[in-house]
Structure 1
Amino acid sequence: MRARQLWLRFEPYHDVTYFTPESRAATDALGCRGGWMGYFGMRAAPLGAASPELVSAVFYTFAPRMVARALPDAWAVASPAEFLATRLAGVDGALRRLLGDVDTPEIAEAAALGREAALAAPLGGRPLAAANRALPWPAEPHLELWHACTILREARGDGHVAALVAHGIGPCQALALYAREHSLDPAYMRTARGWTLQEWEAVAGLPGDLAAVESATDAAASAPWEALGTAGTSRFVELMTPLALRIASGNEAMRVNPMALDPVRELAVPGWNT
């Protein structure tokens, strides 16, 4: 689907937010105890000093106990505003390392197109997208592009959660289904999101139509690209593909991830709109 192929272009650019040495160093310097406290603090910060219950609800696939190990303690370490500044600093450092020259006409053009698409993303029922859209846009083009990718990413993720709920697929069940369909290690998937073996085994055999969920997710994520139009979307793809490949090739965290995301392999497949 075209929407998934677009996701493959902006997801790697967004992912430097959390899974890079620069990000970890920034949250460690802030005073976070471990990488997950930094992750939950940075990703939840647009919501304000959110409770673990709220974050568990909107992040969806994390076990509530895993979230509760980081929140609300993270808000005693630093305010949401400080987490937002910290994540932007980490992103800036990571992108400069992974991309080298970030002051290019291509990045500036991609930022303008990405911003136009992000501003067309529907916000109703999309709390993480709406919270990120409410933040100021960074001035530098490479960070403006990151902000656009973040809004687009969270808008798609919010829509995915809505599709899972509509199809009656619970948080742990969604991971179990995904692991089975993508031949991912169940133990890795379970521990990456904090579920116990007993919780996993209770849902591992339950049915669920993930193909229907993905179709609904793609449909719900189509509005930004319809607004951007065929020519604008094609140009965004053209500009983002080499950036995504460079980031994925240089970011060790992209090697193994719970999303079964392999941009280096998948972006090599021709036909972005098929």
Structure 2
Amino acid sequence: MDDSYARTLWSVIEPLHIVTYFSPECVQGHKDVGLKGFWMGYFGGRAAPMGPVPAGVVEATFYGFHPDRVRKAVPDAWTFASPQDILRSRAESAAKALRRLAPGIDEVAGRANPLLAAAVDAADGAGRALFAANRDVPVPDDPVAALWQHAASLREHRGDGHLAVLATEGLDGLRSNLLAAAVNGVAFDMLTLTRGFSAEEIAEGAADLAGRGLLAADGTVTAEGRELRARIEDRTDALAAPAYRVLADPEALHALLEPVARPVMESGEVPFPNPIGLKRR
């Protein structure tokens, strides 16, 4: 299988996972279990598979967020809700959201879950802490919640590999976000809202990238920067692809998931632009 197909599969797996951050059911689920505010819900929910870890672990595995934003939520999150309760609520809320947004997803889940489970089992967990933690989460009995958990595991597998590539290229969380924003034509000040970096930190990071020839003085991406970003994405595909080679027909999995991923993307609940890299369809 061509490594680039890993990106095509990501384009339908990511929307199924992403409801956990933006859907009202999931935001409310975090509140119901005891987490306080959107960011505690985000960091507590996403980190819960690793257990009640300290802030440093979350900073390392999430990579792209300002440490101060992480430390406002973790480890306090574990004093409001246990990781076990968060995991239960997270899967149940995601299943509710997916059933609302994608009618027919129960039938799709029954067919897709064996394929997704095979990919999760085949994926290499070496050096991939967030993926390995998700893979060890017991798969829910509810087929739609199980579909969501498989999607979460596979998106974190890709994400862990992506962060390894960024680190190899000498890009920290701020600079990797700035380069991605420049390539995608996203205003840098969005990183204050979505990642917690100050205007001063953003200016300093952009100046550093300009000194490396990756950005122009006006903040637009250079040919060298665009080439680096393309190389990062290609290498991310190469690291993610082996998980899907166990499938006899990866295109069939894409065709199966696309009709339930599309309504999530078209729901208006996923913000555009977004730092995740998802594009409008």
TM-score over 0.5 for the pair:
yes
Equivalence for 1:77: 80
* Residue number in structure 1 paired with 2:184: 182
Matched, 1:239 2:242: no
Q: Distance in 2 between matches of 1:162 and 1:121?
A: 16
Letter in 2 for 1:166: T
Equivalent residue for 2:27, pick from 24, 28, 53: 24
Kept in 1: contact 2:91–2:148 (CA 8 A): no
State the match for 1:212 in structure 2: 231
CA drift of 1:73 comes to 0.8
Q: Deviations over 1:8-58 (max 9, x none)?
A: 010000111221100111111222221110111110001111111110111
Q: Give the Cα–Cα distance (whole angstroms) in 1 for the partners of residues 192 and 103 of structure 2.
A: 36
Structure-2 residue corresponding to 1:221: 240
Deviations 1:115-144 (A, max 9, x none): 111111110000010000011111222222
Asked if structure 2 preserves the Cα contact closer than 8 Å seen for 1:248 and 1:254, the reply is no
Q: Is the 8 A contact 2:264 2:270 kept in 1?
A: no
When normalised by structure 1's length, the TM-score is 0.91
1:144 to 140, 143, 146: 146
Show the 5 A alignment for 1:104-143: 104=107, 106-143=108-145
Unaligned runs of at least 5 residues, structure 2:
215-224
Moved over 3 A (4+): none
Q: Is 239-248 or 24-33 further displaced after alignment?
A: 24-33
Q: Given residue 74 of structure 2, which amino acid in structure 1 is its aligned partner?
A: L
Structure 2 residue 63 is the aligned partner of structure 1 residue 60: yes
Amino acid in the other structure paired with 1:243: V
Tell me the distance in 1 between the aligned counterparts of 2:74 and 2:166. 25
Task: Name the counterpart of 1:158.
Answer: 160
Q: Measure, in 2, the Cα distance between the counterparts of 1:141 and 1:30.
A: 22
Greater shift after overlay, 189-198 or 4-13? 189-198
Distance 1:103 1:57 in 2: 35
The count of corresponding residues between Structure 1 and Structure 2 is: 261
Amino acid at match of 1:90: S
Q: Retained in 2: the 8 A contact 1:113–1:228? A: yes
Q: Which amino acid aligns with 1:258?
A: P
Q: What corresponds to 1:257 in structure 2? A: 274
Q: 1:255 to 1:179 in 2, by over 3 A?
A: closer
TM-score, structure 2 length as denominator? Answer: 0.89
Deviation at 1:254, TM superposition (A): 4.1
DSSP 3-state at the match of 1:17: helix
Q: Secondary structure at the match of 1:137?
A: coil
Matches within 5 A, 1:34-49: 34-49=37-52
Structure 1 spans left out of the alignment, 5+ residues: 266-274
2:274, 2:153 → 1: CA distance?
A: 20
Determine the C-alpha separation between the residues in 2 that align with 1:188 and 1:237.
Answer: 31
Percent of residue pairs identical: 38
CA contact (8 A) 1:118 1:151 kept: yes
Alpha-carbon shift at residue 189 of structure 1 (Å): 2.4
**Residue 169 of structure 2, aligned match among 145, 167, 170:** 167
Structure-2 separation of matches of 1:13 and 1:183: 25
The one-letter code of the counterpart of 1:224 is A
